[in-house]
A = this chain, B = another copy of it.
Amino acid sequence: MPNPTAAMLVIGDEILSGRTRDSNMHHLAKRLTDHGIRLMEARVVADDHAAIVDAVNTLRARHDHLFTSGGIGPTHDDITADAIAAAFGVAITHRADAMALLQAHYDRAGQPFNDARQRMARIPDGAVLIDNPISTAPGFSLGNVHVMAGVPSIFEAMLAGLIPTLTGGAPLLSQSLRVNRGEGEIAADFGALAADFPDLSMGSYPFNVNGAHGTNLVIRGTDPARIDAAMTRLAALFG
């Protein structure tokens, strides 16, 4: 059976103006290659509705997967979710589960969950959310199109959760624990725990929101009982 094929679409004026150097394409290329998926082509387009719709529809028809980065934040130039909905001809609404995730996130941070932040819960109908262990606002997969953030640390964390779901094997589950300590502080114990559960994948994602900094610890695997066992140990260490 031939390897699945993929394309990437990088979305953002800041890449084309030279303000920002994209790193997500290179990261994706390495991860896909490791995973046996062939990245066949990549494109960069501006924050332009018609350009995004056109590229999405061309690339999703040509390949098994299309990965996008950029344009899913809270500001006026974040138009990716609407363009994806338009490309598929589906509606887009503030989705309840995404709203709940974000409401809880901003409640914890003691910040208002205002209209701009609520924009990040707008998800095209039929999509599956992609976990964002760093800043909560989710990505999503709609059909074979995987929509992720442009900020490299968030893109990489989203992709780390997404990639194992693309094998076609047993579904990969995850649970996470938010810890108010830096990565350097928890690394030894977390590493030892990971060594005790070689069948699970454990990742740590530092965050820093308005001065509150810490680490989200994520455990991924296919056996819910094993994940529960590891989470019990994790909570005893850092809970």
Which residues of A are at the interface with B, using a C-beta cutoff of 8 A?
Answer: 12-23, 25-33, 38-47, 51, 73-77, 111, 114-117, 119-120, 151, 153, 172, 174, 182-188, 190-191, 194-195, 201-206, 208-211, 213, 218, 220
Contacts A17-B174, A41-B51: A183 and B75 contacting too (C-beta < 8 A)? Answer: yes
Main secondary structure of the interface of A (DSSP, over half): mixed
Residues of the B chain whose Cβ atoms lie less than 8 Å from the Cβ of A20: 205
Chain B minimum-CB-distance residue to A187: B116
- Does the CB pair B43–A16 fall under 8 Å? no
Residues of the B chain whose Cβ atoms lie less than 8 Å from the Cβ of A206: 73, 151
- Copies of this chain, count: 2
- Does the CB pair A43–B41 fall under 8 Å? yes
- Does the CB pair B29–A15 fall under 8 Å? yes
- Does the CB pair B26–A39 fall under 8 Å? no
**How far is B205's CA from A22's CA once the two chains are assembled, in angstroms?**
13
Contacts A33-B18, A42-B44, A172-B17: A182 and B203 contacting too (C-beta < 8 A)? Answer: no
Q: How far is the CB of A95 from chain B (nearest CB, A)?
A: 17
Known: A75-B190, A116-B183. 15 other contacts (CB 8 A): A15-B26, A15-B29, A16-B29, A16-B39, A18-B29, A19-B205, A19-B218, A20-B205, A75-B191, A76-B187, A76-B190, A76-B194, A182-B209, A208-B211, A208-B213
